[in-house]
Structure 1
Amino acid sequence: MTRITIIGSGNVAQHLIKAFTKSDAIEIVQVFSRKKEALASVINFEKIVSDFEEIIEADLYIIAVSDKAISEVSKQLPFQNRIVVHTSGAASIETLDPKNRKGVFYPLQTFSKSKAIDFSTVPMCLEAENTFDFRVLETVAKSISNAVFPINSDQRKALHVSAVFVNNFTNHLYQIGQEICTEHQVPFEVLRPLIQETAEKIKTLDPIDAQTGPAKRNDSTTIEAHLEYLTNENQKNIYKLLTQSIQDNGKKL
C-alpha cells in the first residue's frame, strides 16, 4: 500500500482525497491545510495538520495548491530526498524545490467542489526525474484512473493551453448563449441537447470534420443577420472573431 500526504485544501485536493479514499491500494496518512475546517467533510479531522513540522513520513507528497504557491510550499517542506509532486497543468517540474525528488501528478479535468468526478476516466499526466519515481506515480495513478500518460512539462503546457480552449472558453460561450436566451425569454434548456450532441460527435469525428454552421457554409446572409441582431458589442466581437477563424480554417483545406 502506498502512503500519501496531500498538501492543499482546494478543489483538486478535495477530489483527490475522495478518489484515494476509495482505493484499497492507497493510504492517506496526512493532509496539510492552513484551514482545517475546509477539509472536515472529506477526511478524518485527526489526519489534518496545519504546521509543516507536523508532516510525517510518506511514500509520496502531492502538492495541490495554486500555481503561484507551489514553489514556496515545496521550499517549506521539512525533509529531503522524498518524492514530491505538484498537480498543475501549467507549472514546470522545475517549479519544485530541488531538495526533494521532483514530479508531476496532473489530473486533466475540470473540478468543482459540488460536482462529483469519476476518476476512472480522468487522464492522469505524469512526469518524474527517474524511472523508479515514475513507477511510483504510475502505480498511484492507476489505483484511481484507467487513463495514465507519461507527459513532460512542454507537452503538459500544450495540453493545458488546449484545455483552456476546449473547456474554459467553451464554457464561457455557454454563458453568452445563456445570456442571449435570458434576454429574450427563451429557456436555455432548449440548447442542452445541442450541447450534448456537439460533445458526443467529437468522440468519433475530428473537430474539423464535425464543424457546421453559417461560418462553415460561408453563409454571409445569416452571419450579417446575426450581427445585426446582437446588441452587445462584446458578443458581436466574439462572433466576428470566431466566424473569421472558422472561415480562415476552411481556406487551408
Structure 2
Amino acid sequence: MKRLNVIGCGRVGQTIAHLLFEKKQLTLQDLHSRNLTNAEKAASFLGAGNPTPNVPSMRTAEVWMLSVPDSQITNVAQQLADTLAPDTPQAIAFHCSGFLSAQALAPLHAKGWHVASVHPVLNFAAPETGIRQFAGTPCALEGSALAVDWLRTHLSAIGGLCFDINSDHKALYHAAAVFSSNFTGVLQGIAQDAWRSAGVSPEMVQTLNRALLTSTTDNLLALGPAHALTGPAARGDTDVVNAQAAVVEQWSPVAAQAYRALSELAVALKQTGTTLPPP
C-alpha cells in the first residue's frame, strides 16, 4: 500500500485519514500540524502515524494530504516543495478546499507532482461524526488526471460519491455549498434570535425551530425549492413583506437587508422556478 503523509490534522484531515487507513487504502506515515500536540492527539485518535514537528522532518511518501486552511495551502505547498531533494520520487498531493482549485498546489506541480483537490460535501462537526456520516458523501474532484483517478478509486472505496467539477467554476460551486449548508445555519440563528426577542420561551424556540426545519427539509427534498416555497413573498403579499421588513429593520438592520433580498428572490423563484434573472 502507498504511504500517506498528512499536513494539517483538523477534523477533515483526521476523518479522511482515518477512513483511508481503516479501509486499508493507505498506510499512515507522518502527521504534521502547526501545533505538535495536535499531531500527537491525531495520532492517538487515528491509532497510527508519526507526529512530526515540521515539514522538513517528514519522510518521503507516495501520497500527501494538505488539510490546512485555504489561506495556508499554497504557502505549505511551497514549503514542502522547497524541502524536496532533486531525486525525490513524484507523488500525489491533494488539498481539501472547496473554494480553491488544484492550482493552489502549483509549487508541487512544478516539481512534477500530480496534484488535485477533493471537497467532501459534509458538515465535519467532529472526526467521530465525520467517520460515521461519510458513507454516501458527495466528493467534488478536479486536478491532474492521474491524481483525480487515484482519488476517485480510493475515496469511492471508503464510501465517497465522487464527481468531477470544472476547475474554472470551483468558486461558484463552493458558493452554492455555502448557501446550502452554512447559510442555513445562519438563518436558523436569526430565527431563534428573533423568536427570543419576541418573548418566546427557550423551550418553545427549540420546538418551533425543529418543527419548521424538519418539515421544510422534507418538503424541499420531496418537491424541490420552487414548489416547497411558502410564505408572504411566495404568495405575492407585498404589503405584508414590506410591513414585516420594517419591523425587522427596527430589530436588526442587517437581518432586514437579508429579509428583503431573500423575499425578492422568493418571488422570482415562485414565479419562474429559478432565482436567476431572465436572460
Task: State if a TM-score over 0.5 links the two structures.
Answer: yes
Query: What does residue 119 of structure 1 align with?
Result: 134
- CA offsets 1:142-188 (integer angstroms, 9 cap, x no match): 12224111223124322201011111222111110110122223332
Q: Which amino acid aligns with 1:34?
A: R
CA offset at residue 91 of structure 1? 1.0
Q: 1:156 aligns with which of 170, 177, 192?
A: 170
Q: Tell me whether 90-99 or 148-157 shows the greater mean CA deviation.
A: 148-157
Letter in 2 for 1:193: A
In structure 2, stretches of 5+ residues that fail to align are 274-279
Check 1:91–1:36 CA distance in 2 against 1; reply closer, same or farther (3 A cut).
same
What is the Cα deviation at residue 114 of structure 1?
7.4
1:196-231 deviation per Cα after TM superposition (whole angstroms, max 9, x unaligned): 222233333321222111110012353345335432
Sequence identity, in percent? 25
Q: Which residue of 1 aligns with 2:230?
A: 212
Shift of 1:135: 2.4
Name the amino acid aligned to 1:126. Answer: L
Once residues 196 and 21 of structure 1 are traced to their aligned partners in structure 2, the CA distance between those partners, rounded to angstroms, is 35
2:229, 2:270 within 8 Å by CA — same for their partners in 1? no
SS at match of 2:118: strand
Shift of 1:106: 1.9
Is the 1:3–1:58 Cα contact (8 Å) retained in structure 2? yes
Is 1:4 aligned with 2:4? yes
Distance 1:120 1:252 in 2: 35
How far 1:52 sits from its partner (Å)? 1.5
Instruction: State the match for 1:104 in structure 2.
Output: 117
Q: 1:189 is matched with which residue: 173, 189, 206?
A: 206
Equivalent residue of 1:177, what SS?
helix
Structure 1: gaps of 5 or more residues: none
- How far, CA to CA, are the matches of 1:115 and 1:176 in structure 2? 28
Which has the larger helix fraction?
2
1:76 is aligned to: 79
For 2:18, the equivalent position in structure 1 comes to 18
Q: Aligned AA for 2:91?
A: R
Paired AA for residue 128 in structure 1: G
What amino acid maps onto 1:92 in structure 2? S
The aligned length equals 252
**Structure 1 residues 87, 114: CA separation in 2 closer, same or farther (over 3 Å shift)?**
closer
Q: Residue 140 of structure 1 aligns with which residue? A: 154
Gap change, CA 1:3 and 1:143, over 3 Å in 2: farther
Aligned counterparts of 1:167 and 1:161: Cα–Cα separation in 2: 10
Q: Quick check: 2:39–2:52 contact (8 Å CA) kept in 1?
A: no
Question: 1:60/1:92 Cα in 2 relative to 1: closer, same or farther (>3 Å)?
Answer: same
Q: Which residue does 2:277 correspond to in 1?
A: none
Residue type of the alignment partner of 1:53: P
- Tell me, yes or no, if structure 1 residue 248 matches structure 2 residue 268: yes
TM-score norm. by structure 2 comes to: 0.81
For normalisation by structure 1, the TM-score amounts to 0.88
Q: Cα gap change, 1:91/1:120 in structure 2, threshold over 3 Å: closer, same or farther?
A: same
SS of the equivalent of 1:145 reads: coil
Q: Identify if the C-alpha distance between structure 1 residues 9 and 158 changes in structure 2 by more than 3 Å, giving closer, same or farther.
A: same
Q: Specify whether residues 224 and 115 from structure 1 end up closer, same or farther in structure 2 by C-alpha distance, changes over 3 A only.
A: farther
1:50-76: CA deviation from partner (whole Å, max 9, x where unpaired): 222221222210111111111111111
Residue 192 of structure 1 aligns to a residue whose secondary structure is helix
